[in-house]
């Protein structure tokens, strides 16, 4: 991240409007410390920010701080970086997919999602990097979860070493001393679609597609800037050829950094192809997001749906419900009414009218964007 101011301003002069501050929490090194989130980091960012406000006010900083959630937020401001990746939402989306429960995701978002109203999260399902389980241990402990043990479970689940796992992830940076590691893999591989394609199980293929769309429905509706990464739109699976390249073989992240397959991309135009079954619903979600002012700004209000499998939050007059379970689940009406008063609503995605008088039932791995009139 450290560069001369002239280089930064040259980028601005070439039209760069957002500058990513890579691994920003670690840019200052000092013997005898963890070299993480040191005060000097904030001083450096503030200096560069002040310079851009004077010389290139159209340029904004985007923070990439994959650290404790409280430290992530410390970089998000107009004095430093008004845009930031949201690693906690990303990691806990996968956590909820593995456990089929939203307790930790909801509990953490109630505490960690809110930022200054003139700043924005970048919400993503996957990126070019690995997945680290960056939830706060204290948040987990408050709902009876041991953070260390839970991370061990998630690593086993997403590397396919847990009984019943649907994931085809790969270990990254395994530490045999403390058992720490992270997970690599494309969204399709981690969401179970790759394994389903290998088995030929049509039901599991459907579930794999639903999981992908469900996770992206959150990234697109929770509030902020949604990010769609590298082939997820056509259900790209892991590329294992990296293991044949000595320069890449020791870095499993290359499994989810494949060359883009333009031949497969052509298949996205068919609604019955695998690619089309992912691409076309994603396009619909993006179009719906663009056409819905309530999803354009502000903060999501997360609340307890009364069902441990259903994530619920409100964006203006839009109620979002997401079912992380393999089975149909119902959010009871009394819990919904605590934050949303409508008795009938229109699902923005399907266009159907939904009666919420007696609660809302969702099919496995599905979601609703309900807008009141």
Nearby residues of 36 by Cβ (< 8 Å), 6 or more positions away = 25, 26, 67, 71
- Angle (CA) 169-183-179 rounded to 5° is 120
At 23, give phi and psi (nearest 5°).
Answer: 45, 45
What 8-state DSSP symbol labels residue 177?
Answer: T
The active-site residue out of 7, 17, 64, 241 is 64
- Angle (CA) 314-316-317 rounded to 5° is 90
The active-site residue out of 17, 22, 241, 266 is 22
Distance CA 258, CA 231 (A): 9
Distance CA 87, CA 67 (A): 8
Distance CA 71, CA 24 (A): 11
Helix (H, G, I), strand (E, B) or coil at 308: coil
C-beta of residue 326 within 8 angstroms of C-beta of residue 100? yes
Helix (H, G, I), strand (E, B) or coil at 314: strand
C-beta of residue 184 within 8 angstroms of C-beta of residue 130? yes
Active site residue 22: yes
Active site residue 203: no
128 burial level (CB within 10 Å; 0-12, 13-18, 19+): exposed
- The residues annotated as belonging to the active site are 22, 64
């Amino acid at each position: 991240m450290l560069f001369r101011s002239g280089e930064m301003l040259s980028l601005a002069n070439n039209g760069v409007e957002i500058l990513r501050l890579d691994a920003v929490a670690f840019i200052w090194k000092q013997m005898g410390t963890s070299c993480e989130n040191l005060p000097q980091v904030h001083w450096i960012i503030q200096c560069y920010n002040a310079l851009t406000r004077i010389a290139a006010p159209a340029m904004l900083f985007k923070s990439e701080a994959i650290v404790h959630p409280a430290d992530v937020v410390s970089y998000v401001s107009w004095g430093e970086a008004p845009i930031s990746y949201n690693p906690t939402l990303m990691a806990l989306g996968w956590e909820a997919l593995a456990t089929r429960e939203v307790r930790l995701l909801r509990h953490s978002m109630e505490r960690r999602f809110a930022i200054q109203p003139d700043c924005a999260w970048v919400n993503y399902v996957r990126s070019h990097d690995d997945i680290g389980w960056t939830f706060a241990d204290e948040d987990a402990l408050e709902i009876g979860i041991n953070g260390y043990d839970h991370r061990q479970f998630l690593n086993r689940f997403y590397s396919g070493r847990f009984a019943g796992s649907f994931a085809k992830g790969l270990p990254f940076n395994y530490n045999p001393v403390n058992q720490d590691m992270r997970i690599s893999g494309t969204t399709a591989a981690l969401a179970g679609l790759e394994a389903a394609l290998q088995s030929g199980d049509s039901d599991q293929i459907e579930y794999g597609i639903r999981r992908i769309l469900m996770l992206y429905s959150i990234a697109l509706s929770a509030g902020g800037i949604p990010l769609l990464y590298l082939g997820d739109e056509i259900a790209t699976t892991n590329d294992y050829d990296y293991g044949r390249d000595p320069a890449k073989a020791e870095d499993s992240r290359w499994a989810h950094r494949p060359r883009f397959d333009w031949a497969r991309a052509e298949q996205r135009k068919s609604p019955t192809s695998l690619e089309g079954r992912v691409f076309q619903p994603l396009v619909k979600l993006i179009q719906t997001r663009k056409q819905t002012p309530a999803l354009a700004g502000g903060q999501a209000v997360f609340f307890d749906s009364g069902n441990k499998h259903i994530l619920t939050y409100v964006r203006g007059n839009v109620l979002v419900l997401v079912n992380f379970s393999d089975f149909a689940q119902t959010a009871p009406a009394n819990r919904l009414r605590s934050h949303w008063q409508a008795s009938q609503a229109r699902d923005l995605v399907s266009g159907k009218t939904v009666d919420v008088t007696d609660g809302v039932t969702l099919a496995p791995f599905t979601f609703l964007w309900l807008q009141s009139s």
